[in-house]
Each structure stands twice: as structure tokens, then as C-alpha cells.
Chains A and B, each alone.
Chain A
């Protein structure tokens, strides 16, 4: 499914870590990796040097892992340039790192990461780097919601990431508790919850099984974002991979946005995966 993978690299270490995830996917998919650095007009020479060094290090890693790799360096508006590369090279998936300042904005409105995920004509994986010491994630936490579509591609992405790192996948679904006006919250045991597993999540697990990926499923009632971060922290997960929850501004203000909240409180690295055409 992924034959050409692009990773945007710059002078920040988080972009290098994001590219390492891309390297891992490229290894699992036997895909070609494109490392691109787009220098803006005001980029300082030191920053350019740092980015070039990062690309050099990634090149060495790619060579050691026997991955085909190509670097593209250009100047101009990073978004426009990356859009061009994606179209020109027919990229299947692009990796980019989110910055700390991005997560301080409401659903990182107007940020580079946000614009990338909306405009690129390929799937996008936005990486939030929290913990650079977890070099090789053993436990992947995959929160899914009932309405998540593009299950086949999601499962493929997760399966390949897991395959690359030889890690175990923990599928997690935090759902709204069942409440009745006069009875309040009704307690349901995990076994009973399993029977209420949404079909798309069951399908996702079937795909993982097809890919021969070791997985465990868990379904719990509770506040989505908080449940995810607590699960990740308590079970010491190394990486969270979740979908981008495209909520309207009004809905985000009223109900909150789980992705935003997880971005802020994730105890480990987080990849927000957006399949191509998800919102089209």
C-alpha cells in the first residue's frame, strides 16, 4: 500500500525522530523513503547545517536498514514545496513532526501540521515527540472510535508499524458510559462491553489478525482523552497511534477535542494518522 514515503526534516530533533518512524515504516513496507528539507527565506545557516546533519544521520540509518532513500532540499514555502513533491513523486504517505507550540493552539488551527494534514494529496502521519528515550516502541496503543472509517488503511498502517518494530498492538476503545435518567450510570463489565464492540473496531482487529500482528483489545467507558492517556501511562505504552478527530470549532469548544487533549497530555510519543481522502 505504501511504496513511497516522505518525511519532512528540519533543524529540530523532533523532525529527526519523526523521520525514524518513517524509516521503520519504509522498512516494513519495503518502500522508498524521501527525506525533504525545505528552507524558508529567513532560515539561518546554523539551522540549515543542523537539518543537513540530521538528513545525513538518517541516510546512514537508512543504509544500515537497507532502505532506498532520497533527499530533497529546496527553498520556499514548506507547505507549497511539500505539496509539489507529494504530487510529483506520487507519495503515498507523508510524516511530519508537530511542534510544542502547535499543541497550545486549538486543534493546532493555522499550524503547519494542520495545513499539511488538510492539503496533501496523500495520507499523513503527524508525529508528536514526547520521549526521545523510547527508541524502539514495544507496545503500541491504538485508540479507535466507533465511527472511524478507512479501517483497511488504518489497519495496514498500524500493522506495518508494528511489524517494523516487532511490537504488540493494544486496540483501545473508550466509549461513553451508559446512563439512564433515574438510574444514573449503569456499570457494565469489560466482558459485557466486548459484546458492544463497534463493527469497525471488530473489523480493524480482523485485519490485524490477517497481518499476523499480536494484539489485545480493550473497551472501557469514560472520558476519551483522559482514558487514553491514563491507559498509556499505566501500561507504559511506548507509542500511541490515533486518528485525527475532525470536529467543528463549535463542537470542539462545547465538547472538547480528544485529539487536542491527548496531544497535550500524552506520556509517550503520539502519531496522528489521517488516511488520504478521509474528509473528502
Chain B
């Protein structure tokens, strides 16, 4: 027993109210019990707390400890420059926190947009008196009055209606208004015609209804809850960064502690040893990684915007690249939503019957031709245009209409054709809805009984048109000799069928093929009939064999387990579906470990859009709520744009790995000087501040330029990234730490010792921190790292392809990055401010020249490695 099944009296009894409405006292009690009729956002971690969390993860804690100890050291041993170091580390923590927060931040406005769909005031009857109240004060049991233009404030059971028509578009996406009634109905509440849902609109007529759910208890509240409660969680890239930072933090701590004890054993003093331990940690931590990743994602989102895909959350840029399944709508996304009449079928193929068919198509139609323009629903416009072009305008007067609704799947109009005496009922609709109403069929101008043979012929024609991918409508009429009566849709005469084509977008076939090549599964979710969906899917190359087709009614009764199995099929189509079903498909796919992108445009698409890894809203056809709930907005509603964005997303991930390789290479020349310092008792070749100059200064722009590399040729020929694949994998670390890094370290130490030796330094001599020779030597070490990093940026442009193959000048940003890097180094080496901040001293130009062969060596060695690897790969 549901509220829609009850009679008016039973409704009043169950909701403990009356036809006079609630008393004010009872309403007050209910208000205190059920709360205000408002849409609330699910409780979430506040922005401030989310920001604070960036300071409390494992790496941040490690850095806080480092900073704390450095400041303590300054207090105990002033004058060692430890305060500057402590502040620099705190600066690093803040920079990383801000950039991580920027990545995660997303303005959430979907609930605000939902609230706008509810009314502010409502007419209500309380104690038998009609009153106007704020909609938020409505309580369950209230008797509300609905009239034309009103928005429904809460879920209510209709108890009295007069030609009431409701538009449920905000809830169901169905743009046609639906006639409402107050009699008991069978079936589910959500599909009931005696229920007025919050957020829907009264198009015409009037009625009275008893409120049975308010605020978050309504269907609208349910959508709001699902939209705001579903938390996106960390993106694949964020998860990888967390893992990477944990590994780095762990390694740095182990190295710091281990060498601290070694230092202690070989007799190095505590504070000296302590500086060393901090230095090891700082050298290991890639301080510039998070800012570079964030800026690179921002650049990626700019490139996507140029391709008509607007990204709302930065991390979505990369998540797109990892997508394994796309659940897409058909109409408007895969097709053009430009309906055209493609085929006409009548049983006799006579012109007179065709004319009759077109007459029905023209009159049983709500589209209009005004000022040389067709206006209305695309399907109706297609019918009207075709009819007008073939039989011209027909003068008639519409006497009555039973509008189309998704439950009846048909519409009927009663027309009086001018200059003829009789009235006609014209009906158009889905075959399964209309054929049972027909007892006759029009053949050569005669009404013949609809026998089995005619029925079979009609059904065969219907199937044949659907198999061509057409949306098929059937048409019938009845002469109303006795005028308007209650049996308008009885004993009708079947006239024929019209097949309407919604042509696929021309670029979709290629995009689908790209998806197949890239190992991405595409699932079509459409409201169309199965045969039409399958035919279109075949035409665009979405399916090649016999797909599994799940219809809406099967879907509803299917257990999760069964659906889970169906979803593992290679080719699957969901037909006769409504948007509310999408969330379930997305949830199951996600539970199975897929990374899911889903398209949507309606209010009730919002939960699915929010739940998916990538929610994609339609920029043209989409509602504000859908756009707010999504991660990406398609400015052209085109499926091909999604695929372009995925390609860009994959390129972004690949580029992130490239610049990680670049950034990590410079860790070795930062670590090795410390090891040499502690193991060989030499002056420290590189100070902590100089390490930060590389990580947060000179490396930044070249790394960003690597983030702008174009997608490599085969990027959409590879399967989606394996979720188990690590961002910091063994290959990447080996290349950076054991191949490129050591060359840079050798260059750094060479520069350092070259200066020292030239200045007369002898092994074992101790040099003060402000000694000019020492400062020049550390400057040479730093310069060597910069010079070799210039070569490294070219080396890191590709993992396998030689630079000459991908085009030496194909990424102009690289040259801007290098120019910045060199200018910054010149500032550090030659400007007094640079000298003061980074404890450097000017060195002669000769030193730069001496270091260049190391850079050339690094570049050539890497190119040889690539050629060698290329050959192995192709063999």
C-alpha cells in the first residue's frame, strides 16, 4: 500500500489531516518535528579543515619537524643560518599545501541551483482558511493549492484536480507536460500521475494536494542528498602523489637517520651532523613537484578548453586520461539531435493514404511554424516540416488534446477540419501503445478490419524501420460522428508509420574507433527503443557483433549481481532508460574497479554525474544543476570532444611522468654532495638554500614546459593505464637516479673541486661558510647542476623517442623555460641580492664553458639509450 494507491479519505486518515487542512498548532508541532521545507547540503568537511589537512600529512609532519629542529638549532647555536633554513622549510610546507588545495578545490553550487527550482511562497489551507505562506514553512499533512504557473513546494498527493497539467522536466527530464489526476493509481510513486513532486511546475489547470514529504524527504531532496553526499575522493593522480610522497618521505627519513648515526660514529659533532640530516631530507624531497603538477594540470585544462571541453576540477584533467568506460547518452551526444523524416510506410503505398498520414502528422502536433521558423520539440518539428512541404498547410481548429506522456507513449488531438462537418481524433505514438487501439486499417481509402495478416505486415514494417536506426512513430485516426465523447482512443483506424532519423554526428565514428583502439569501453544509455539503439550503435561502429541489450523494465527488476555480470560483456546497450537509472550503472562499474565517465544534462542526472570519476555535463542542453554537479562541461555536447579530452588527459599524465623524471634527476646531484661531505670530510659542496633554488626556482619553468609536450603518436593506441601502475615506477626511478642523476652529480662535484683546487685548497682544509673561495665553489656546483639540467630537459621530452624524431623545436615553451632557468642562475651568481640570499659568489665565464661538456655528454648518452631501447622495443 502506497500513498498513490489510496483514496482521498484514506490519504487524509493516514496523514492525519483533513479537508480543512491542519490546525496552526498541529502545523507548528509538525514543523518542529520535520523541520523546514528546505534543501540542505550534506554535512561535509569545511574548506578550512580541508586546507588545514594539507599541513598534517606524513610529509608535511616530517618537514615541520625539520623546520622546528632548525629553529631550535638557531636558538641554541645562533649565527649558523639555521633560522633562514627553518623559515625556508616552512615556506615549502605552505607552497605545497596551497598548491595541493588548489588542485582539490572546487566550488560546489549544485545545491544552490537546486534550491532555485523551489518556490518561495505557496497557498495553503489551514483551519479551513486559505493563506499564503513561505514555502519553507510547509509541513507534511498541509493542504496546498496549485494553480497555473505555480511551482510545487513539496511532494504531495493530489486530492482534487481540474485540467491540471504538470511539467516534471526538472525531475525526469521529460519536457512534455503531463496530465495529472487525483484518483488512486497503481504502480510506483515516482511514476504516479496523482503525485505532484517538489520542484515541478503547474503548466495549466488547478488542484489541491496533501503534502506527504518536505525538504530532504522529497524526491528533490533525494537528488540533493545524492549530489552533495557523494564525495569524489582522491583522483588517481592524487592517490599516486600521496603514495609517491610517502615513499620519498620514508626514504629521506631512513637516509637522514642512517647517515646521522654514521656521522656520529665517525666523530662528527652533533650540530654539523644535524645540518647534514636536514640537508639529506631536503635534497630528497622534490619541493617543486606539487606546484609543477598543479600548474601543469592548469595548462592542460586551458588546452582542453580550446577543444571545447571545460574542466572544473584541475585533477579531472588527468583523471580523464585514465577513464576505462564512458557511459553516454545517445540523442544530441552521439547524434545531432536534428530530426528528419527519413521513411514513410503505409500498407498500400497509395498517395491518398500517405496524404492522410501526413495530415495526422501535421495536426496531431504541437510544433509551430512562426515567422518563417519552426518552433517546438525536434521530433514534432521534423514531422510538421515534412508534412507542410508535401501537403501544405491545413486549416483546422483544435477542440481537445490528450498530451503526450511517457507512460502512455502517445498523444491525441481532436480537430475540426474547416469546410468539413465532422470531428476527428488523431493519434500518434509508439507502436506498442497505439496498435492495440486500432481495430481497422486504411487501405486504398477504405477502412478494412485489422486482421492478423495486416497486423503482421505492420509489425514487420515497424521492425524494419527501427533496424535502420529510425525512431518510428505510428499514426491512427477516428471520425467522431457523435462529437466529443469519452472513447476518443477506441476503434481507431491505423494509417501508417513515419521513420525519423537523428543522424549521427559525422565525427563520432572516428571517436568511437579511437575509444576501441584505446581500450575504452563505450556504453550507450538511451531512452530509445532497443532496435533503434542497436541500429544507431551499429552505424557509428559502437557495436560489431550481437550486443547485450538491457531494457529499462528489465533493469529495474535486475539484481545487482546480474547487472554486474551483464556489465562485463564486451558490448552492452541500455535502452528505454531514464536518467535516474544511470547512478546504478555508474556505481556498479566503479565497484568493479572501472574508471567511469558519464554524460548527463538533467537535474536527475546530477547524482550520477557526481558519483562518476568524471561527470560530463552538456553545455548546450544541460541544466544548471547538471553543470554544477559535473567535472567537465562539453561546450558542443559532442561525444568526439570527450575523446579529444581523454587524449589530452593521457598526454598530461605522460607529461607529468616526464617532468617527474626531470625533477628527480636533480635530486642525485643534491644528495651526493652531502654524502661526500659526511663520508670524505670535505666542505659541503651545496647548501640547503641552493638545493631549494634548484627545486623551487630554476627547475620550475622547464618542468612546466615538459608538461606542455604534445601527445605522442601512439597514445590512443595503448590500453588505459593499469590502476596498479605507479607514477614513480622502477624504470623511472632507475633512469633518474642511476643514469641521469649521477652524470649531473659528477658535473657538480667537478665544478666544486675545480674551483677549490684552482684557489689552492688542500684536502682536509676547513673553509668558513663566508669564505669567498668556498662560496665560489658551491656556486660552481650549483651552476653545474643547472647546466646539466638544461640538457636533461631535452632528454626528458620523451621516454623512448629520440629528440630529433619528435622535433627539436616542436615545443617552444622548452626554450622559454631554459631561458628563464639560465637568467635566474645568472641572477643567483652575479647579482648581489642573489649572492646574499643563496650564499653564492660570482664565478668566471670559463667555469660555465668547462661544465658544458657534461651537459653534452648527458644528452648524447640519453639519446644513445633511447635508440638502443627503440631497437629493442621494435624487435
Residues of A within 8 A of B (CB): 11-14, 16, 46, 50, 54, 57, 99-101, 129-136, 181-185, 187, 189-190, 216, 218, 220, 226, 229-230, 233-236, 261, 264-265, 267-268
Q: Are B230 and A230 in contact (CB under 8 A)?
A: yes
The answer on a CB contact under 8 Å between B246 and A131 is no
Q: What CA separation (Å) do A234 and B223 show in the bound complex?
A: 9
B15, A189: Cβ atoms closer than 8 Å:
no
Contact for A135 among B3, B560, B584, B591, CB less than 8 A: B3
CA distance A51 to B723 in the complex (A): 60
Do A229 and B229 touch across chains, with their CB atoms under 8 A apart? Answer: yes
Would B593 and A99 count as touching, CB distance under 8 A? no
Q: Would you mind naming 10 contact pairs between A and B with Cβ atoms under 8 Å apart?
A: A11-B29, A12-B29, A13-B141, A57-B16, A132-B15, A182-B250, A190-B564, A229-B42, A233-B222, A234-B584
Nearest residue, chain B, Cβ from A191: B564
Bitwise, B237-277 to A at CB < 8 A (1) or not (0) is 00100110011001000000000000000000000000000
Cα-based distance from A136 to B5 in the complex (angstroms):
11
Chain B residues touching A, majority SS: helix
The 8 closest A-B pairs by CB, nearest first: A133-B212, A136-B1, A131-B217, A133-B3, A132-B140, A233-B225, A187-B593, A233-B222
Q: Tell me the complex Cα distance, A99–B3, Å.
A: 24
- A50 x B1 contact (CB < 8 A): no
> Which A residues are in CB contact (< 8 Å) with B6?
135
- Smallest beta-carbon distance B189→chain A, Å: 8
Q: B392 to chain A: closest CB distance in Å?
A: 50
CB-based contact A226/B231 at 8 Å: yes
- Hey, which chain A residues are within 8 Å of B217, CB to CB? 130-131, 133, 267-268
B2: chain A residues at CB < 8 Å are 134-136
Q: Which of these, A46, A133, A187, contacts B157 with CB under 8 Å? A: A133
20 extra A-B contacts, CB within 8 A, seeds A190-B592, A229-B225, A230-B225: A13-B16, A100-B33, A133-B15, A133-B157, A133-B189, A134-B2, A134-B3, A135-B1, A136-B1, A184-B239, A187-B593, A189-B593, A230-B230, A233-B226, A235-B584, A264-B43, A265-B42, A265-B225, A267-B225, A268-B217
In angstroms, how far is the closest chain B Cβ from the Cβ of A273?
21
The answer on a CB contact under 8 Å between A182 and B246 is yes
- Bound together, the chains give a CA A218 to CA B564 distance in angstroms of 13
A170 to B659, CA, bound (A): 49
Contact residues, B1-54 vs A (CB, 8 A): 1-3, 6, 13-16, 25-26, 29-30, 32-35, 42-43
Per-residue 0/1 for B195-234: is the Cβ within 8 Å of any A Cβ (1 yes, 0 no)? 0000000000000000011001100011001100111000
Instruction: Name the CB-closest residue of A to B29.
Output: A12
| B805 at interface by CB-CB < 8 Å | no
Q: Is B559 an interface residue (CB 8 A)?
A: yes
Of A16, A135, A226, most buried by chain B (CB within 10 Å of CB) is A135
Measured CA separation A133–B17 after assembly (Å)? 13
The residue that B243 contacts in the complex, of A132, A184, A261, with Cβ under 8 A, is A184
Bound complex: CA of A268 vs CA of B155, how far in Å?
Answer: 14
Does A265 contact B229, Cβ atoms closer than 8 Å? Answer: yes
| A218 CB to nearest B CB, Å | 7
In the bound complex, do residue A216 and residue B591 qualify as a contact, i.e. CB atoms below 8 Å apart? no
CB neighbours of B230 from chain A (8 A): 230
Are A230 and B226 in contact, CB atoms less than 8 angstroms apart? yes
Nearest chain A CB to B798 CB, angstrom units: 29
Measured between C-beta atoms, what is the minimum distance from A208 to chain B in Å? 16
Quick check: B583 and A234 within 8 Å, CB to CB? yes
Please judge, given known A-B contacts A101-B32, A135-B3, whether A16 and B229 are in contact too, CB under 8 Å: no
In contact, A267 and B242 (Cβ under 8 angstroms): no
Closest residue of chain B to A183 (Cβ to Cβ) is: B243
Let me know if B140 and A133 touch, CB within 8 A. yes
Which residue from B29, B141, B226, B583 sits with its C-beta under 8 Å from A132? B141
**A59 CB, nearest partner CB in chain B, Å:** 14
Q: Which of B35, B190, B231 contacts A100 (CB 8 A)?
A: B35
